Amino acid sequence: MTTTPAAPAAEPLSLNDRLARIAAGGAPKYHEAAARAGKLFVRERLRLLLDEGSFLEEGAFANCDAPDLPADGVVTGVGRIHGRTVCVMANDSTVKAGSWGSRTVEKILRIQETAIRLRVPMLYLVDSAGARITDQVEMFPGRRGAGRIFHNQVRMSGFVPQACLLFGPSAAGGAYIPAFCDVVVMVEGNASAYLGSPRMAEMVIGEKVSLEEMGGARMHCSVSGVGDVLVKTEPEAIEWLRRYLAFFPQNFDGIPGNVPAVPPKAGKEIADIIPRNQNQPFDMQQVIERLVDEGSWLEIKKLFAGELLTGLARIGGQPVGILANQSRVKGGVLFTDSSDKGARFITLCDAFNIPLLFLADVPGFMIGSAVERSGIIRHGAKFISAMASAQVPKISVIVRKAYGAGLYAMAGPAFEPDICLALPTAKIAVMGPEAAVNAVYANKIAELPEDQREAYVAEKRAEYERDIDLYRLASEMVIDGVVPPEHLRDELCARLAACRSRVTDDLPKRRPVTPV
Amino acid sequence: MSDVKAQMAGTVLEVLVTEGQAVEEGQDLVCLESMKMQMFLQAEQGGTVSAVKVGAGDFVNEGDTLIVLA
């Protein structure tokens, strides 16, 4: 067999030249364009994210003979955050707009497999135009094609924490990376996620729409719910993720650590925050501030379905996931989006051993034809199902009203909370007195002469109020205790410590068939 | 021009402004009652009330325009 000698190559690149080319990323003009958009170079992002000097790169030489594809457009490796190991992939948008070729995909698969072997969090720093169509046969359909990334993500869900920082586009199939993460932080103005670009939407369905409107960060964080946290800058996104990870164990088997306790922020007493009139809104954020260690409250989905607040915090240094009804937004009534928000947050905490605290002030789930048509029953069922099946410690505090299925969603007594406490302002009932008297006595009221109706209704309401009196419920042991509001934080602190060893027996099954 | 819309379905309890009235940012415009909760809709910016689309006792759906500010 004869061989044809290869054409004499130009001067072969030295190892140092190759290393320099890999470290430099794409051409200078792409770096300049990124800088103008407020974007950091991928290696700078990793430097800010990881503990100093901790990054160990993998697969840096991928596609190293292609001069315009350093690292094949993605940097992957192992590093540390707060001294704990994490795995990370980070698209380099200066290299072919961060698009995926076959080696890009292989690198992402390998770092995911590393995260599985090491049982450590997997972080995705996404800034990618999507698949390289020219490479599609090698990177799209096969066993180790891009689909495998999502397959791995689904397998890893609940095994190790997975988080996404979205710094740029996350297009078409790539849009599923954030969708399969536990949490997604988006940088306003730069981050976007969409299945089809505005150009494609115009071509295929005839819709004219801007990228921001269709798939921008603000839209996703406030309307679609694909995003969890909206930030202004990349360093802010990175700092948020570092704070977030501090609440989590390395994997499902770990227990999140305590930190030294910090007193809560000083301010108005809880008793002065909650109005006497049950129908008058108040700011639940202020109640949370009185209960949690100052500076520890990390809200998730702040801009989405604001009638339910969800976030991580510390009480006496102990991590806790809080769900609280916010009467300032839509009266604190639960809607389809707030139901999804609650369900999702519960599964996040339950997956990683973070105890749950429910602060209830809820008039119930929304009623009316509009919400029935949008499936309020199945969305509410999703929330209740997530709460009921959660195996972490659950503490329920009835702050003010807890009516109807609202009581159920907020871990009412029937759902095996470790404890269900009430503030003296609590009111627990199938419905509020006004609605109840009307429901039961509507015919009787109509029969009465008009001048007697008001007195009759007032009498029946008073009767109803006596029937649902808080101390009657306490006496019947419906609730486990009534706590003076000024003692609530201390009580929660002690209760959280006491229920840490909770074990819940599940019935044998392959999996529950969950409402969606 | 900006439309002040209902956040959720409910009944108008009280309209607190009249057409032609000047309002400040954050001023309460309409009190809506839904699910036995009272909710005040506020002006997102200062301006003049150019139209009042609803009256006390009206049922409104989420997204319905209640007040137009100019």
Q: Do A331 and B61 touch (CB under 8 A)?
A: no
**Do the domain assignments include residue B41?**
yes
A448 CA: distance to closest CA in chain B (Å):
23
User: Least CB-CB distance to B35: which of A329, A366, A370?
Assistant: A366
B18 contacts B54 by C-beta, under 8 angstroms: no
- CA-nearest of A146, A150, A142, A129 to A200 is A129
CA angle A471, A475, A479 (to 5 degrees): 80
The pLDDT of A443-462, averaged and rounded, is: 92
| pLDDT given at position A414 | 97
**Do the domain assignments include residue B20?**
yes
Q: Does B31 touch chain A (CB under 8 A)?
A: no
A195 CA: distance to closest CA in chain B (Å):
27
d(CA A225, CA A184): 10
CATH code for the domain in which residue B40 is found: 2.40.50.100
Share of chain A above pLDDT 90, in %: 92
The pLDDT of A326-354, averaged and rounded, is: 97
**Do the domain assignments include residue B49?**
yes
Which of A366, A373, A376, A430 to mutate to probe the B interface, most B CBs <10 Å?
A366
The pLDDT of B17-34, averaged and rounded, is: 94
Q: Do A279 and B37 touch (CB under 8 A)?
A: yes
| pLDDT given at position A277 | 86
| pLDDT given at position B2 | 87
Residue of A nearest to B63 (CA): A370
pLDDT tens sequence across A227-270: 999 999 999 999 999 999 999 999 999 999 999 999 999 999 99
Cβ atoms < 10 Å from Cβ of A375: 15
Q: What is the pTM of this model?
A: 0.94
pLDDT band for A506, please (50, 70, 90 cuts): confident
The pLDDT of A68-87, averaged and rounded, is: 98
| pLDDT given at position A488 | 98
pLDDT band for B39, please (50, 70, 90 cuts): confident
Residue of A nearest to B39 (CA): A331
Number of domains in chain B: 1
**Do the domain assignments include residue B67?**
no
pLDDT band for A334, please (50, 70, 90 cuts): very high
User: Least CB-CB distance to A333: which of B35, B38, B61?
Assistant: B35
Q: Do B38 and A435 touch (CB under 8 A)?
A: no
The pLDDT of B9-33, averaged and rounded, is: 94
| pLDDT given at position A2 | 45
User: Least CB-CB distance to A333: which of B8, B38, B61?
Assistant: B8
d(CA A409, CA A324): 11
Domain hosting B27: range is 2-61
d(CA A315, CA A292): 5
**Do the domain assignments include residue B66?**
no
**Do the domain assignments include residue B37?**
yes
Q: Do B7 and A330 touch (CB under 8 A)?
A: yes
pLDDT tens sequence across A396-444: 999 999 999 999 999 999 999 999 999 999 999 998 888 888 889 989 9
B54 contacts B5 by C-beta, under 8 angstroms: no
pLDDT tens sequence across A176-219: 999 999 999 999 999 999 999 999 999 999 999 999 999 999 99
| pLDDT given at position A9 | 56
Q: Do B8 and A279 touch (CB under 8 A)?
A: no
| pLDDT given at position A329 | 94
pLDDT band for A173, please (50, 70, 90 cuts): confident
- CA-nearest of A113, A110, A39, A117 to A74 is A110
Q: Residues A278, A281, A285, A287: is their CA dihedral positive or negative? A: negative
Which of B37, B41, B59 to mutate to probe the A interface, most A CBs <10 Å?
B37
pLDDT of A310 above 80: yes
The pLDDT of B58-64, averaged and rounded, is: 94
pLDDT band for A1, please (50, 70, 90 cuts): very low
pLDDT of A6 above 70: no
Structural tokens at position A391:
């195996």
Cβ atoms < 10 Å from Cβ of A5: 5
| pLDDT given at position A438 | 86
| pLDDT given at position A489 | 98
Q: Do A279 and B9 touch (CB under 8 A)?
A: no
Report chain A residues whose CB lies below 8 A from the CB of B62. Answer: 370
Report chain B residues whose CB lies below 8 A from the CB of A283. Answer: none
Q: Residues A256, A260, A264, A270: is their CA dihedral positive or negative? A: positive
Q: Does B65 touch chain A (CB under 8 A)?
A: no
User: Least CB-CB distance to A280: which of B34, B35, B38?
Assistant: B38
Average pLDDT, chain A: 95
User: Least CB-CB distance to A331: which of B35, B61, B62?
Assistant: B35
Strand B10-15 relative to strand B59-60: parallel, antiparallel, unpaired?
Answer: antiparallel
pLDDT of A90 above 80: yes
A279 CA: distance to closest CA in chain B (Å):
5
Report chain A residues whose CB lies below 8 A from the CB of B34. Answer: 330-331, 333
pLDDT tens sequence across A258-304: 999 999 999 999 999 999 888 899 999 999 999 999 999 999 999 99
The pLDDT of A321-335, averaged and rounded, is: 96
Residue of A nearest to B7 (CA): A330
Report chain B residues whose CB lies below 8 A from the CB of A331. Answer: 8, 34-35, 37-39
- CA-nearest of A357, A345, A365 to A405 is A365
